[in-house]
Amino acid sequence: MKFPRLTALLACTAWLALAGCEDTLDKMDLSAASEDLIFQDESLATLNLSYIYDQNLPTWFGQSGVGLGSTNPSILSDEAAGESVYFEGTVQINTVTDFGTALAANNNYGKVRTINSFLRALDRSPLSKDSKDRLRSQALFFRAWRYFDFVRIYGGVPLVTNPLDAVGVEAKAAAYLPRNTTSATFSRIVADLDTAIAYLPGKWTNSGDWGRVTKGAAAAFKARALLYAASPQFNPNDDVAKWQTAFTASQQAKTLLSANGFGLNASFDQLWFQEINNPEAVLVTGFNNATADPNKKSNSYDNQTRPSYTGTAGGSNQPTWELVKAFPMLDGKKPGESTKYAYSDQLFYKNRDPRFGKTIAYNGAVWPMNGNSSLKIWTYFKGSTTVEPKASNTGFYTRKAVSPTLGVNEVQFSGMDWIEIRYAEVLLNLAESACGAGNLTEAYAQLKAIRQRAGIEAGDGNYGLAPGMSRAQMFDAILYERQIELAFEGKRFWDLRRWKKIESVLNGKRRQGVTITLKSNAPADFATNRDNLDLDQVYTNYFTIAFKSLDTRYAINWKPQYYFFAIPQSAIDNNPAMAQNNTWGGAFDPLQ
């Protein structure tokens, strides 16, 4: 489903114009179409619901476009580098503006208001119960989505489930709502998603509905939310009951999805290029080839990510050396721990987990692109001059989800969908919650399924996983698997944050890249003959690899109070009934 950028009213009038309803056109002023008119027809109501999809579905990397949600989360982890106030340690009370105070449709509470208005109008409409249930359940999914965005950033927030009046002294007083507890906020999320699970279809049968939320997607999102609630950020005392609740939800998600044809795609890398009926795509944001229609939306990711000389932009989302070195060897063991495959920094690409070469594009790698299946990427220096028009700053590129077939002039219009929840994440969530609940057998099973699909060698049947892991060791193994499987999918920052590991993993460090330089002893015809040479010999004889800091202004300085950000002072000024978080000088405990 590819949602055009239309306002709710424009969406309705567009539909009416296309429908050719002469009687309606004779009688109604379409510039002021009434709620009664819109919600007496399921097609019109569905078009308004599509506007809610367009407002709320995340873009690439899970970004919302507001506040913290406008920052690519890859630069807030060890995946990629980039200057940020979050890592500089200079976050202030008013820095994180995801809360939103203006009367605007594009901030979080503005989006909640749109959803609540839709739900109220739907309740008043004469549509059938089945139609109402189907529409309501989708809207409730997105209300849960908005409150989840709130709670993981701030903790509990005021829970508004009906549109508030906007005018008058009494309306203003009624809008002075205190913050609900964090546990109540999670309960609201779960309640909305339980309703969605009850009434959504397991799979939409009409191909035109591809991308609409399903029963399994709602269950998978519920499992994700409850996994957060069980994680150390929200569960510092390791209450096993919270892990058990998340485990039950993850089991439900897997059961519902599997029963409706969802599962791991046969291909780790090609899964991004199968849109309709992709078994791995649990929750997707649809994009369009926007060549001819400005109302359609291209995804921009592909064009931004590939090398600049292979598209019209390019070079963003460059992996750090930390990520490059993190990938396991072919037997599933970490570099330096494998007894079968030796590792060296000079030949870093050899005998790695197959996901390495499908995620990381490195100097000399075959990278099919622009329809050329044998293209090799070269990003090295000769003296102080790069051999490509603009060298990668880290020495590497991200190749995940970059189309091998789109041409240079087509890539800026790529319509490839963003997969926000993959079936692989559902399995990883199940593994983690199972571990938390003490079921390590279940955790092993899910990790092995993912590693088997990746192409890691089976070995003793554990696909490189250490046998007999403790609960703590299994948690570490799951976070490691998430780092590899979900690299550059917007999950790593949130994983480190919910596990309160940012200080231990990153603080005081500067992320690294490499500069690869051709030695002076290289053959004179190296540039013209390099594609034909043995890459191991090239790296061994003709390249030097020098490491460099990517964080040049400061060492990373994440602070403990960032695990729950401050409510902006402007929001508290607007609503004096709200208390600030106790880690920012207020009385509100985000752990309650």
Full pLDDT tens readout for the chain, 592 residues: 454 434 444 344 333 333 333 333 333 443 445 777 889 999 999 999 999 999 999 999 999 988 899 999 999 999 999 999 999 999 999 999 988 777 777 888 999 999 999 999 999 999 999 999 999 999 999 999 999 999 999 999 999 999 887 655 666 777 899 999 999 999 999 999 999 999 999 999 988 898 999 999 999 999 999 999 999 999 999 999 999 999 999 999 999 999 999 999 999 999 999 888 899 999 999 988 766 566 678 888 999 999 988 877 788 999 999 999 999 999 999 999 999 999 999 999 999 999 999 999 999 999 999 889 999 999 999 999 999 888 899 999 999 999 999 888 888 888 899 999 999 999 999 999 999 999 999 999 999 999 999 999 999 999 999 999 999 999 999 999 999 999 999 999 999 999 999 999 999 999 999 999 999 999 999 999 999 999 999 999 999 999 999 999 999 999 999 999 999 999 999 899 999 999 999 999 999 9
What distance in Å separates the CA atoms of residue 123 and residue 326, rounded to the nearest whole number? 52
In a domain, 234, yes or no: no
Please say whether the dihedral angle defined by the alpha carbons of residues 150, 154, 158 and 164, taken in this order, is positive or negative. Answer: negative
In a domain, 343, yes or no: yes
372 falls within a domain = yes
d(CA 275, CA 363): 30
Tokens 């649990």 sit on residue: 282
Closest listed residue to residue 484, CA positions, set 322, 338, 343:
322
User: How high is the pLDDT of residue 2?
Assistant: 53
| Beta carbons within 8 Å of 339's beta carbon, 6+ residues apart | 333
pLDDT of residue 289: 77
Task: Tell me if 27 is assigned to some domain.
Answer: no
Q: Which helix (H) or strand (E) holds 453?
A: helix 440-454
Ordered strands of the 385-386 beta sheet = 385-386, 381-382, 512-518, 543-549
Residue 15 falls inside a structural domain: no
Alpha-carbon distance of 53 to 58, in angstroms, equals: 9
d(CA 292, CA 279): 30
Query: If you count them, how many residues does the chain have?
Result: 592
Domain assignment of residue 239, yes or no: no
Read off the amino acid at residue 316.
S
Phi-psi bin for 100: left (phi > 0), alpha (psi -120 to 50), beta?
Answer: left
Spatial separation of the C-alpha atoms in residues 590 and 583, rounded to whole Å:
9
Ramachandran class of 558: left when φ > 0, alpha when ψ lies in -120 to 50, beta otherwise = beta
Q: How high is the pLDDT of residue 99?
A: 86
Please give the model's pTM, rounded to 2 decimal places. 0.93
State the Cα angle at 461 between 460 and 464, rounded to 5°: 75
- Return the pLDDT at 294: 63
In a domain, residue 524? The reply is yes
Residue 87 corresponds to which tokens in the numbers above? Answer: 């890592």
Kindly list the distances between the CA atom of residue 566 and the CA atoms of 62, 75, 157, 223, in Å, as whole numbers in the listed order: 22, 21, 12, 26
| 574 Cβ contact partners less than 8 Å away, ≥ 6 residues apart | 101
Looking at residue 24, what is its pLDDT? 31
Secondary structure letter of residue 588 according to DSSP: B
CA triple 162-165-171, angle to 5 deg: 115
Whole domain around residue 360: which residue ranges? 310-416+512-549
Question: How many folded domains does the chain comprise?
Answer: 1
| Residue 521: inside a domain | yes
Helical packing angle, 129-154 and 108-124, nearest 10°:
160
